[in-house]
């Protein structure tokens, strides 16, 4: 496991494309994450291929909250606990700031992701609160589910 570098952006983009229902962002987005937020992002690779990726950041108005944007695990590494391991490793110290909360959004149909975050909350012994963050109408005419905010903490 390591923090991403600029050169990883295209491979991260390809991984996300292979992990529906995650929203695919532009390569430029993954370049920015690798450049500006590399200390709160991790990749896991094996044999030179990226098997997993987590992107996160500390929102400026809530510096004790680590917002996890995406967690992706390639199908060849699914069922191994890699996503959970990436999250735990990120919380264990890849960032200079300590987090008291983890927040993320999970679509209503993404049971594996939801279960991974609920498992994280159990491991941390932390409460979970769920609320609506972005109503589907905010996404314009494109079909998109509501984005529900999952907040874990304090821990």
What's the mean pLDDT in 128-137? Answer: 93
- Per-residue confidence band for 60, with pLDDT thresholds at 50, 70 and 90: very high
Domains and CATH numbers, the chain: 6-152 (3.40.630.30)
Q: Residues near 50 by Cβ (< 8 Å), separated by ≥ 6? A: 8, 11, 12, 15, 43, 44, 74
Looking at residue 139, its pLDDT comes to 87
| Residue listed under structure tokens 């491991």 | 123
The C-alpha atoms of residue 23 and residue 16 are separated, in whole angstroms, by 8
Q: Identify the pLDDT of residue 145.
A: 83
**Residues 119/84, Cβ–Cβ less than 8 Å:** yes
Give the C-alpha separation, 155 to 129, whole Å: 13
Q: What is the pLDDT of residues 7-25, one digit of tens each?
A: 999 999 999 999 988 889 9
Q: Which residues contact 16 (CB under 8 A, 6 or more apart)?
A: 22, 24, 25, 30, 53, 70, 72
Interatomic CA distance for residues 150 and 106, integer angstroms? 7
Give the sheet arrangement for strand 147-152, strand by strand: 41-46, 49-57, 65-73, 101-106, 147-152, 128-134
């Amino acid at each position: 496991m390591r923090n991403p570098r600029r050169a990883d952006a295209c491979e991260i983009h390809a991984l996300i494309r292979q992990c529906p229902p995650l929203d695919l962002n532009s390569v430029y987005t993954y370049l920015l994450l690798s450049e500006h937020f590399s200390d709160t992002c991790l990749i896991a690779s094996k044999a030179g291929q990226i098997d997993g990726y987590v992107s996160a950041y500390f929102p400026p108005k809530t510096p004790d909250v680590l917002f996890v944007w995406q967690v992706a695990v390639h199908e060849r590494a699914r069922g191994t606990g890699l996503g959970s391991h990436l999250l735990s490793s990120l919380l264990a110290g890849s960032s200079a700031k300590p987090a008291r909360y983890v927040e993320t959004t999970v679509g209503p149909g993404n049971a594996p992701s939801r279960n991974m975050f609920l498992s994280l909350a159990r491991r941390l012994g932390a409460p979970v609160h769920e609320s609506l963050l972005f109503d589907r109408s905010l996404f314009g005419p494109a079909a998109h589910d509501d984005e529900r905010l999952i907040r874990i903490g304090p821990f």
